[in-house]
């Protein structure tokens, strides 16, 4: 397989867009699926939207787990792909699968046996608990399939095969939309299942995606989805994976659990705030696809360059990647602003929820810039060189020392209005900018983390 990185002329922009465009398409489809879920549930009722939004926090947390494990695998695999060492890539994939499969099975068992307890963390509303519990019980199947396929897709992306990864995700997304419509509205003779139908559709689409991953793996000449890789042994790679991926995993878990606390805060402020926030999340995700795609593509590109040992070139490319992120972050804010009138026109919420929705969307027109820049640097540039500890420390302090306590204090001690609480929560990304930029300017993140003699 030819490396995505050219060692000759400086051709950053063709390379970054070649990687970014499939990721943009994939992220747009992902946002479209979430939009479709919310739009369809909008016709079922506000309680269905709120219940699925709260229950989906567990999927969001699990996604961050997979993302953290995939990051550990990706940053090693991208650098070893620069050296064309596929034996190392197979071993890293196996290590990531060990962790992913074990965690997925554990969470699935909890979802099968204790879904009510999982829901009570986010709400005390009995109707929401009942709807969310039926959703979570079926989602247990999704977690197992998802945990395997996400690692394989992360490895494919890390070696530059972003188009294959995009197609496999497109399959899951399109199936999800079609099956959602089938089970929510009772099409083609299927029963009308509402929120439960969303879970069934997601489980089926992820199962089919896993089967598709196996087919692609069978046809692949280099990186395969092979559970036997879990038994490959390399103490050096295991130590590197743990050293690099555990801080990344801890970072993503710390951030995602803290971000879920925002839902806890809003959930106890009423279902109107939850319903409005569920729509806002969908719109924000659509506005963020371009800047997050640039960050993901930049991570692959920078990792391969560092694996080849050209650290100065990686610093030049990181600077250009940051400039692109700022531009796409501004575009994302304009997208949110542009779609706001359409969202307000078609949303089927009560008057209070609509009021919340309008101003939450306006807040997100600038909030996207904060999250885009931090994602590009913390989860992109720094991680490409194996620097995962900075993000763990920075995000943990920002979220757990600043944002979450501030949110609880504003909501339950000061008893501020919902929109003031939401505004304060949305200052979290900007508070850490000084430390993030300082670390970026130091340049210590640029490292070649590959090794020789891995299997002796």
| Secondary structure of 398-416 in HEC code, one letter for each residue | HHHHHHHHHHHHHHHHCCC
Which of 138, 113, 112, 110 has the alpha carbon at shortest distance from 52?
138
Radius of gyration of the chain (CA): 21
What pLDDT was estimated at residue 127? 80
Give me the pLDDT at residue 255, please. Answer: 83
Find all residues with CB under 8 Å of 4, minimum gap 6, and list them. 15, 18, 19, 159, 160, 300, 301, 304
**Which residue, chain included where needed, has tokens 């050096």?**
236
Dmax of the chain from CA atoms? 67
The pTM is what?
A: 0.74
In the chain the first and final C-alpha atoms are separated, in Å, by: 26
- The span from the CA of 126 to the CA of 316, in Å, is 55
Spell out the alpha helix ranges (H) of 83-194.
Answer: 86-113, 115-120, 126-158, 162-185
Contact 381, 315 (CB under 8 A): no
Answer for the pair 11, 320: CB distance below 8 angstroms, yes or no. no
Q: Walk along the chain (456 residues) and give the pLDDT tens digit of each residue.
A: 444 444 445 688 888 888 888 888 877 776 666 666 666 766 666 677 777 777 877 877 787 788 778 878 888 888 888 778 888 888 889 999 999 999 999 988 988 888 888 888 777 778 888 888 888 888 888 888 888 988 998 888 888 788 888 888 888 888 888 888 888 777 887 777 777 887 888 888 889 989 999 998 888 877 888 788 888 888 888 888 888 888 888 887 888 788 878 888 888 888 888 888 888 888 888 888 888 888 888 888 888 888 888 888 889 999 999 999 999 999 999 999 999 998 888 877 888 889 999 999 999 999 999 999 998 999 889 988 888 899 999 999 999 999 999 999 999 999 899 999 999 999 999 999 999 999 999 988 988 888 777 665
Q: How many CB atoms lie within 10 A of CB 27?
A: 22
CA angle 88, 209, 87 (to 5 degrees): 10
Sketch the domain layout of the chain as residue ranges. Answer: 12-442
* Res 8: pLDDT: 45
Cβ pair 199, 48 in contact under 8 A: no
Residue 215: how many other CB atoms lie within 10 Å: 11
> How many angstroms separate the Cα of 330 from the Cα of each of 183, 286, 323, 427?
38, 13, 11, 17
CA 443 to chain centre: 26
């Amino acid at each position: 397989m030819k490396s995505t990185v050219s060692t000759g002329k400086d051709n950053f922009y063709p390379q970054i867009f070649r990687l970014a465009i499939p990721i943009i398409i994939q992220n747009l489809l992902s946002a479209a699926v979430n939009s479709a879920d919310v739009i369809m549930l909008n016709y079922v009722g506000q309680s269905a939207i709120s219940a699925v939004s709260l229950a989906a926090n567990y999927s969001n947390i699990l996604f961050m787990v997979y993302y953290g494990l995939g990051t550990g695998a990706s940053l090693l695999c991208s650098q070893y792909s620069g050296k064309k060492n596929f034996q190392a890539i197979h071993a890293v994939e196996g290590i990531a699968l060990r962790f992913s499969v074990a965690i997925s099975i554990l969470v699935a068992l909890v979802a099968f046996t204790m879904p009510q307890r999982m829901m009570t963390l986010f709400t005390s509303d009995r109707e929401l608990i009942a709807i969310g519990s039926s959703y979570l019980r079926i989602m247990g199947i999704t977690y197992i399939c998802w945990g395997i396929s996400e690692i394989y897709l992360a490895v494919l992306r890390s070696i530059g095969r972003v188009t294959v990864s995009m197609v496999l995700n497109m399959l899951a997304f399109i199936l999800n939309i079609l099956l959602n419509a089938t089970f929510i509205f009772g099409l083609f003779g299927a029963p009308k299942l509402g929120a439960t139908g969303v879970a069934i559709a997601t489980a089926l689409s992820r199962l089919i995606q896993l089967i598709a991953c196996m087919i692609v793996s069978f046809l692949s000449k280099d990186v395969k989805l092979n559970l036997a890789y879990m038994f490959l042994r390399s103490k050096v790679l295991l130590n590197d994976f743990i050293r690099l991926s555990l801080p990344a995993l801890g970072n993503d878990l710390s951030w995602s659990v803290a971000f879920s606390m925002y839902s806890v805060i809003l959930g106890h402020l009423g279902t109107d705030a939850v319903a409005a926030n569920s729509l806002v999340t969908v719109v924000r995700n659509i506005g963020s696809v371009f800047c997050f795609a640039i960050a993901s593509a930049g991570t692959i590109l920078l990792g391969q360059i560092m694996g080849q040992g050209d650290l100065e070139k990686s610093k030049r490319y990181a600077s250009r990647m940051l400039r692109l992120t700022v531009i796409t972050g501004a575009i994302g804010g304009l997208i949110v602003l542009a779609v706001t009138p359409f969202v307000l026109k078609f949303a089927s919420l009560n008057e209070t929820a609509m009021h919340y929705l309008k101003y939450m969307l306006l807040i997100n027109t600038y909030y996207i810039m904060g999250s885009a820049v931090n994602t590009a640097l913390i989860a992109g540039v720094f991680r490409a060189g194996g620097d995962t500890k900075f993000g763990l420390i920075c995000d943990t302090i920002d979220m757990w020392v600043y944002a979450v306590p501030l949110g609880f204090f504003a909501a339950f001690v000061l008893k501020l209005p919902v929109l003031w609480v939401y505004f304060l929560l949305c200052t979290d990304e900007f508070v850490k900018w000084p430390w993030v930029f300082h670390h970026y300017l130091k340049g210590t993140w640029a490292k070649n983390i590959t090794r020789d003699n891995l299997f002796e």
